[in-house]
Amino acid sequence: MRILIIEDEKLLADSIEDLLRSKGFVTEAVYDGESGEEYAELGIYDLLILDVMMPGMNGYEVARNVRAKRCSTPILMLTAKSELEDRIRGLNAGADYYLTKPFDSRELLACVNALLRRQGNQVDELSYGNTRLDLSTGLLVCGEKSIRLSAREFDVMRFLLQSRDQILSKEVILSRIWGLESNAVENHVEVYVGFLRKKLSSIGSNLRIEAIRRMGYHLEVDGE
Amino acid sequence: MRILIIEDEKLLADSIEDLLRSKGFVTEAVYDGESGEEYAELGIYDLLILDVMMPGMNGYEVARNVRAKRCSTPILMLTAKSELEDRIRGLNAGADYYLTKPFDSRELLACVNALLRRQGNQVDELSYGNTRLDLSTGLLVCGEKSIRLSAREFDVMRFLLQSRDQILSKEVILSRIWGLESNAVENHVEVYVGFLRKKLSSIGSNLRIEAIRRMGYHLEVDGE
DNA sequence: CAGGACGCTGAAAAGATGCTGAAAGCAGAA
DNA sequence: TTCTGCTTTCAGCATCTTTTCAGCGTCCTG
């Protein structure tokens, strides 16, 4: 999931990026309306986060221009104002949701998730090696064989597949899959990795979930 | 990964230290802004955790002074206040992230990880000679061959690569990698240098870790 | 040249970390 | 309610990492 942040306060943009990245989103930030519009119109983003008050082109204008180009990427507007008429103005300009600063990070995340969910825009499979994870059915497929993953197994497998170029620490997996508030412990990750390894080998996959001591897990393809 | 905690409430500082140490970070704590600034400006930390409300120099001032010295270590600010203006003030003073007390330990960890990750992700590999250290997978690569480093080996190797123009004394390496409070001795460094030399030559690297008597170690490229 | 300081190494002990199977807890379906 | 499958918990084992240590070689200094 790729998110573009258009926000002239660099530090705030950075902290939004941190927040979203820690949840596994891919983010990019630009710091003025003009570049924002340009980037947004590439059409490669799943969501725009757009500040209203910016020097030069403001958020309303950006939203309006983007929509005028028939780009339907959902837009989340950020503003210091909380007046009804501002909200209406933003929505009329094409925004999908309106968040008043200061906002709670939870609220932002909930909002981002809601917008992405609403779009229903997902890739419908992830492949690596000889193996494929079907995101709509939750099936792990290898050649003729396939096996069903439970919800948790699916989340973990997907996260691993999405992060194939990185080592994922148990900590990160926990906070991403079980959430910050859960009282899940690292052994949960170990157990689920165990489940997944069993299922992977049962369908003859050449994917290995390699444990890297003290660092985390990494997906590898046998014979590479 | 080395973290400096600047927090006048000793109990809170201790509990943060415990938490982070249990996750394998090396921590040090100081209990007032003045010493905090002094330590921070040594530039040997990967992250600062900084309380806003302290007698004497407060967190904003520390952050501002540290930034004024062009020290770009990420700063995580802690505060009891959750007002927008405080958050912005902190961000403007150079903080990278803002956490309101009381905070969840998991949230703190996620935050710390996010900040460290962001920093680490700016460079995702370090190369020298014919050899490359992949920071996201922890692999030491030379041409076709590659070998996995353990967590400690990785830390030492990275430190050497990052300081390729300097001679690193065992003492500096010890304090940086094992931490000031650890009871590690210089032989640890010698042993790890030995491990690394073995791994370097096993993949055919032209890097040598040269010992300079009474001074320390230095990375050199064969045939230069 | 002798002696001491320093650095290197292999082997073994100590310590951490990761894996696993079994069982208990839980929630939804029948 | 009972059944079923998913998730969590736990304890013990296995494995890998880190530390420790003793002995040897080399370099420097007097």
Report the 3 state secondary structure along chain A. Answer: CEEEEECCCHHHHHHHHHHHHHCCCEEEEECCHHHHHHHHCCCCCCEEEEECCCCCCCHHHHHHHHHHCCCCCCEEEEECCCCHHHHHHHHHCCCCEEEECCCCHHHHHHHHHHHHHHHCCCCCEEEECCEEEECCCCEEEECCEEEECCHHHHHHHHHHHHCCCCCECHHHHHHHHHCCCCCCCHHHHHHHHHHHHHHHHHCCCCEEEEEECCCEEEEEECCC
Q: Is the pTM of this model over 0.85?
A: no
- CATH 3.40.50.2300 boundaries in chain A: 2-119
Enter the CATH code of domain B125-221: 1.10.10.10
Q: Looking at the domain A2-119, which fold is it?
A: Rossmann fold (3.40.50)
Most confident by average pLDDT, A53-62, A90-99, A157-166, B144-153: B144-153
| A114 strand D contact, CB < 7 Å | no
| B152 strand D contact, CB < 7 Å | yes
Enter the CATH code of domain B2-121: 3.40.50.2300
pLDDT at B19 over 80: yes
pLDDT at A202 over 90: yes
Strands B125-128 and B131-134: antiparallel
Could you read off the pLDDT of B94-115 as tens digits, one per residue? 666 667 777 767 668 766 775 6
- CATH 1.10.10.10 boundaries in chain B: 125-221
Question: Can you give the distance from the CA of residue B179 to the C1' of nucleotide C2 in angstroms?
Answer: 39
Choose among B109, B115, B151: nearest Cβ to A213.
B151
pLDDT at B122 over 50: no
B137 has a chain A CB within 8 A of its CB: yes
pLDDT for the residue A86: 63
Q: How confident is the model at residue A118 (pLDDT cuts 50, 70, 90)?
A: very low
Contact A180 B104 (CB under 8 A): yes
pLDDT for the residue A204: 93
Contact A215 B138 (CB under 8 A): yes
pLDDT for the residue B140: 94
Strands A97-100 and A125-128: unpaired
Contact A22 B110 (CB under 8 A): yes
State percent of chain B over pLDDT 70.
Answer: 85
pLDDT at B13 over 70: yes
pLDDT at A89 over 80: no
Choose among B24, B107, B110: nearest Cβ to A214.
B24
